[in-house]
Amino acid sequence: MDDTRTLRFFNRGPSPVVRLIFFCVLSLLLLFVDSRYRYLESSRKVLAVMIYPFQRLTALPGEAVGSVTVYFETQERLLTENEQLRQQHDTDAAQLSQLQAILAENAQLRVLMDLKERVDYPMQMAEIVYVERDIFKRKLFVNKGSQANVMPGQVVVDDFGVVGQVTRTYPWLSEVTLVTDKDHSVPIQNQRSGLRAVVFGSGDINEMALRYMPVSADIVEGDVLVTSGIDGTYPPNLPVAKVTRVERDPAYPFARITCEPLAGVDRHRALMIVSGLPQLPELPEVAVESTAEQERARKRFKRRKP
Amino acid sequence: MSNGFAKDQEFLLPASTGFIAFSLFIAVMLNWLPWNGWALALRPDFVALVLLYWCTHKPHRIGIGIAWLVGIFADVADASLFGQHALAYSVLAFGGIVLHRRVQMFDLRQQSFHVFPLLLLSYATYAAVHWQVRGFVAWEYFLGAGVSALLWTPMTLLLQALRRPRRDPNEL
């Protein structure tokens, strides 16, 4: 009757220790392969498709609560909101007419200056399906995937600025790494002074850091940082962050600059995925060699370190 | 408790394979609910709890292999590295199997004190992998282990109640 008592007399396969070692080694092997190489992406995709319906199921309660609250919103609130929106619309319309005049003028000037006309990037709307369930990471999932021609590397924006970048795609989902993710960096330009730099995520939801800027760098609080468009990954002139604090301590070679992302990284539900960036001309051979050289130098340096 | 299932017999309650699979499935679904902010930090790991429950109550049915498999699915759902959850759950299942006789001797409250270090070990495994690969650890993550340990008693009571055979209403 008691199955625990019969343990020693019957063969029940390898002992727990052997099993533990086997599965630990297997996990570590997978970890190593997954973090170093990209061999496992296809199997991950297959599994992701298998669990997709269940994931949708778990998102349902939240969606139901959302639709119920929308249903019970009072008429009064809707009226005031409508009023506000109408006012906003009037001011926007006035600004838009100005903008159109400026656009026309700009187009004419560009033609005159024989410059390439700036392309209007095709965008597609996507909705956030879930936010990351892992506290370590700043990621979210949106409801457009490789079926909608979303590709890794594409930039995700909202109406205020850059939200992040698509890092992995599944057939109906794609994973977006937010600009505030610890491992994420964006090449930017200071809108006021034109200074170029790279802004890094801090892992904190409303903080980013501008590292390796000399103490004398021309950056003040309130500066808006926009994408520079230099690497061809990000389209130029999208707002990224606003400088919130600058600490200049002459004891350190670099200034401590803290920024706050402009996009509502944790606020919105609808986002835009920018696709079809213009192809930049190939990087010339010499530059490639020099990066290879740098890589070798870096490795040498690494080896020399204890 | 007077109906013939004394404390030492709680562990002998029958458990069908379907029920084990169903409880694991529910736990996985609970983990996949869209948690956010502080709720995410405080979120108990339902999968770890249910795995630990079965590892201590039916160690010959649910073992390290199944824990590992569940972990792989958790890895895909959380977009973490392949093997990260799997490693943590394997360690947890091993702890549960090794300690299952010991845990059986105590009452529910004392069991929570045995479960807490096991959960902490599993959380630490996950965090250690993250620290090795990414280079930092979010300390509030460990709060989840404490919340999970607190949930051990209600969850055990619930599962035991579901496993207890229903009385035939026609019986005297």
Judge whether residue B171 has pLDDT over 50. Answer: yes
A131-135, A139-143, A173-177, B124-128: range with lowest mean pLDDT: A131-135
Ordered domains of chain A (ranges, CATH): 121-278 (2.40.10.340)
pLDDT at A297 (0 to 100)? 62
Higher pLDDT, B171 or A139: A139
For residue A116, what pLDDT band results from cuts at 50, 70 and 90? very low
Measured between alpha carbons, how far is residue A257 from residues A91, A154, A197 in Å?
35, 27, 12
| Mean pLDDT (whole number) for A36-52 | 84
HEC per residue, A173-218: CEEEEECCCCCCEEEEEECCCCCEEEEEECCCCCCEEECCCECCCC
User: How many CA atoms are closer than 13 Å to the CA of B114, on its beta-carbon side?
Assistant: 21
**A114 Cα distance to chain centroid:** 35
CA dihedral sign, ordered A246, A248, A252, A255 = positive
Yes or no: say if B50 and B155 are a contact pair by the CB < 8 Å rule: yes
User: How many CB atoms lie under 10 A from the CB of residue A141?
Assistant: 22
Question: What average pLDDT does the segment A130-140 reach?
Answer: 72
ipTM score for this prediction: 0.81
For chain A, the average pLDDT equals 80
**Spatial separation of the C-alpha atoms in residues A164 and A153, rounded to whole Å:** 10
Q: How far apart are CA A222 and CA B23, in angstroms?
A: 53
Residues in chain B with CB shorter than 8 Å from the CB of A175 are 79
- A198-202, A287-291, B99-103: range with lowest mean pLDDT: A287-291
Cβ <8 Å between A28 and B83:
yes
Give the span between the Cα atoms of A293 and A283, in whole angstroms: 15
Assign A165 to helix, strand or coil.
Answer: strand
Domain boundaries along the sequence of chain B: 36-163
CA terminus-to-terminus distance, chain A:
61
Please write the tens of the pLDDT for every residue from A263-278.
876 666 778 888 766 6
Q: What token pair was written down for B130?
A: 């993250």
pLDDT above 90: percentage of residues in chain B = 36
Say yes or no: A181 contacts chain B, CB-CB below 8 A: no
Interchain contact, B90 vs A132, CB within 8 Å? no
pLDDT 10s digits, B49-59: 999 999 998 88
Answer whether A137 sits within 8 Å of B136, measured CB to CB: no
